[in-house]
Amino acid sequence: MKGQRLLGLGYLTPYIVGLLVFTAVPFLASLYLSFTSYDLMNSPRWSGIANYVRLFTRDRTFIRSLNVTLLYVFLTVPLKLTFALFIAAILNYKLKFINVFRTAFYVPSILGGSIAIAVLWRYLFASEGLVNMALGAVGFGPVDWFGDPTNALFTITLLRCWQFGSAMVIFLAALQSIDRSLYEAAEIDGAGKVRTFFFITLPLLTPVIFFNLIMQMVQAFQEFNGPYIITQGGPLKSTYLLPLYIYEEAFKKFNMGYASAIAWVLFLIIMVLTLVAFWSSRKWVYYAGDKRS
Q: Which of residues 59-78 bind another protein (CB under 8 A)?
A: none
- In 163-201, alpha helices (H): 165-176, 180-188, 193-196
- Which of 46, 49, 63, 103: binder of another protein (CB under 8 A)? 103
Q: Is 45 helix (H, G, I), strand (E, B) or coil?
A: strand
CA dihedral 17, 21, 23, 27 (to 10 degrees): 150
Rounded CA separation 69/63 (Å): 10
Residues in binding contact with another protein, number by CB under 8 A: 94
Give whichever of 59 and 223 is closer to another protein, judged by the CB atom: 223
Query: Per-residue b/e over 243-255, b at no fewer than 16 CB within 10 Å?
Result: bbbbebbbeeeeb
Q: Does 232 bind another protein (CB under 8 A)?
A: no
Nearest distance from residue 267's CB to another protein, in Å?
4
Q: 22 vs 284, which CB is nearer to another protein? A: 22
State which of residues 95, 182, 236, 272 lies at the interface with another protein (CB under 8 A).
Answer: 95
From candidates 14, 139, 141, 190, binder to another protein by CB under 8 A: 14
Residue 287 and residue 207 in contact, taking contact as beta carbons nearer than 8 Å:
yes
Minimum gap (Å) between residue 247 Cβ and another protein:
8
Q: Is the C-alpha dihedral spanning 153, 157, 158, 163 positive or negative? A: positive
User: How far apart are alpha carbons 251 and 149 in whole angstroms?
Assistant: 26
d(CA 231, CA 289): 48
Given its phi and psi angles, is residue 80 left (phi above 0), alpha (psi -120 to 50 degrees) or beta? Answer: alpha
Does position 227 interact with another protein (CB under 8 A)? The reply is no
Closer residue to another protein, CB minimum distance, 4 or 42 = 4
Residue 197 as a binder of another protein (CB under 8 A): the answer is no
Footprint of another protein on residues 16-55 (CB under 8 A)? 16-19, 21-23, 25-27, 29-30, 33
One residue of 4, 43, 150, 293 binding another protein per CB under 8 A: 4
Work out which of 84, 85, 175, 256 binds another protein, going by CB under 8 A: 256
Q: Is 281 in the site for another protein (CB under 8 A)?
A: no
Contacts of another protein in 133-192 (CB under 8 A): 133-134, 137, 162, 166, 169-170, 172-174, 184, 188
Determine, following the binding rule CB under 8 A, whether residue 214 of this chain makes contact with another protein: yes
Q: Within the chain, what is the greatest distance between any pair of CA atoms?
A: 76
Number of C-beta neighbours around residue 218 at 10 A: 15
Round to whole Å and give the CA distance between 293 and 289.
11
Distance of closest approach, residue 55 Cβ to another protein, in angstroms: 15
If the CB atoms of residues 153 and 158 are measured against another protein, the closer one turns out to be 158
Please tell me whether residue 218 binds another protein under the rule CB under 8 A: yes
> Does residue 87 touch another protein according to CB under 8 A?
yes
Alpha-carbon Rg of the chain, whole angstroms? 23
